[in-house]
Chain A
Amino acid sequence: MTSRITRADVEHVARLARLALSEEEIEQFTVQLAQILEHAANVEALDTADVAPTAHPIPIANVMRPDEPRPGLPRDEVLAMAPDAEDGRFRVPRIVDYGDTPNPGDYSDPGREEQC
């Protein structure tokens, strides 16, 4: 019987979910996720042709408040807890690919950890 999720699926999903999985994890998760999804797929057995989906069990709509400014979170306290902050902003490694870095979509090599 074909497994519901293949190794290639697991690698693809790991990229989507921004998880740099190890080889061991990829192997283990391929097995475990297939088992879990097989169980979850039981839902296929039910006829839901005329059934609307439920996103929220207690639907509440159009929750509004007057458009009056209110204080947000205390900025200094927030930034004090940031991994890296500068000039009142969160500081991160480069976001835009200028073509001189290796493919930013390839997260599979933990050896790529670097200091910036």
Chain B
Amino acid sequence: MTGTDGLVGRTATELAALVRAAEVSATEVTDAHLARIDAYDGGIRSFLYRADAEARERAAEIDAARSRGEDLGPLAGVPVAVKDVLTTRGLPTTCGSRILEGWRPPYDATVITRLRAAGAVLVGKTNMDEFAMGSSTENSAFFPTANPWDTTRVPGGSSGGSASAVAAGFSPLAIGTDTGGSIRQPAALCGVVGVKPTYGRVSRYGLVAYASSLDQAGGLATTVADAALLLEVIWGHDPADSTSIPTVPEPVRPTLEDGVAGLRVGIITELTETDGIQPEVAAAVEAARAILEEAGAEVDKVSVPSVEYGLSAYYIIAPAEASSNLARYDGVRYGLRRQAADVGTMNALTREAGFGAEVKRRIMIGTYALSAGYYDAYYGQAQRVRTLIINDFARAYEHFDVLLSPTSPTTAFPLGAKVDDPLAMYLSDVCTVPTNLAGAPGISVPAGLDGDGLPLAVQVVAPALHEAVMFRAARALERGFEFTARPRLGAS
């Protein structure tokens, strides 16, 4: 049997193969990862909820199934961490908010159901910016999460708990969600792969809504192949989500190693030739170009003009949708309640007490943008700008197969550096929000470390439904960058 020392740091693909071949038990894999979390999560704080007992029980079930000769799923025995925005029946689900503190959902999200069916072992729920609003995980109502590469810095957000968990080796896979970049940006800052699929690929049933036309669940992993494996487990039509794409997704793993000879790659000028992009980040994009050209791709610049207005449009549309989605937190059916003599006051006191500042800001912006007299100037205009962005991408895709840009304009910034400046924080998303507005898939690939030892990354995006070509390009970049470094952790 393989010693448990050798289990942490393995890919999900490797672990699944070892479990399937009975070279190691699911229990040994689970125990090894839980031990690592015990040893190091005190200094990182990826987790809001540790599901140790549930994980051991599930691992034991998998081992029993294997010894009965039953078919095991593609992720059997593989530990997975899940962002606390997805409902897990009977397990706490807070969305990083006091307003849901103590709440245990009565149903599993479809993503959870599919992970369980695949044999994955859920090890815990990860920290996040409250209701997925943020780019640093500092908006969690409970505590911030640290970046494993430098614990004085942020892991990014809003899926900072998931990104740091994978970077720290707590689990080889994690689930995140991405509304304006919340998988890709923390993946970039933490030196891991992060993928957001086409809107509608992954069911939103049980994904607590922030902005319904933008939210998508996706995966974080240490390799492109693992991210592909995870995505293929969780994606696909779900009758419980009426925005779920009805067609069966084309698998991405069969063509993953096909290379990029003849692939046309466009570097988005509006996201590279602009102030605010850290020089090493720009250099990483240039390095990516060289790798792809070396591998036979045709790389050129492309302009996607409306992308410059993406952030502005996003910060109208997302808050507007959020103001509607978060109206349900009213103290009536679940979560926090502040008693009052009449229901209106109860609603207002509950929400005042239960929501953090960023959530309140976005609810207010959204309410304002949708209110009488302002609806067309703000929300209506933002929706039309969204169309322009979609059209500009479509024009770019007439000449290119995939597009390339930075994922995050900077490497991980210090904890506290942007908390008092909401607008500065929003700028973290400039490279990622256009993909959400377009409903397109995007993936962040680690590109090395900067002079301070902080992760660099680049982003590949593709047309809607074209995950296969996007993954193929990402894999080529991964081969070229040869990034295998892992952060050195301090004991908690």
Chain A residues within 8 Å of B, Cβ to Cβ: 5, 9-10, 13-14, 16-22, 25, 29, 32-33, 35-37, 39-46, 48, 51-58, 60, 63, 65, 73-74, 77-78, 81-84, 90, 92-95, 97, 101, 104-105, 107, 110, 112-116
Contacts and interface: CB of A to CB of B under 8 A. Distances in A.
Contact of B365 (A40, A45, A90, A114): A40
Contacts of A114: 339-341
A57 B340 contact: no
B309 A57 contact: no
A63 B385 CA distance: 27
Contacts of A95: 342-343
Given A13-B371, A58-B199, A110-B349, A19 B364 contact: yes
A39 B344 contact: no
B355 to A, nearest CB: 7
A107 to B, nearest CB: 3
Tell me the dominant secondary structure on chain A's binding face: loop
A32 B340 contact: no
Contact of A82 (B315, B334, B339, B361): B334
Interface of B: 103-107, 198-200, 213, 239, 242-243, 245-246, 306, 309, 311-313, 315-316, 323, 327, 330-349, 351-352, 355, 357, 360-361, 363-365, 367-369, 371, 377-378, 380-388, 390, 422-423, 426, 437-440, 464
Nearest to B362: A36
A44 B363 CA distance: 21
A46 B388 contact: yes
Nearest to A83: B337
B315 A36 contact: yes
Contact of A107 (B316, B349, B437): B349
B348 A20 contact: yes
Contact of A83 (B313, B316, B336, B344): B336
A89 B140 CA distance: 32
A45 B305 CA distance: 13
A18 B345 CA distance: 8
A48 B334 CA distance: 42
Nearest to B352: A20
B436 to A, nearest CB: 8
A58 B246 CA distance: 11
Contact of B385 (A33, A46, A93): A46
Contacts of B330: 18
B378 A29 contact: no
Contacts of B333: 78, 82-83, 90
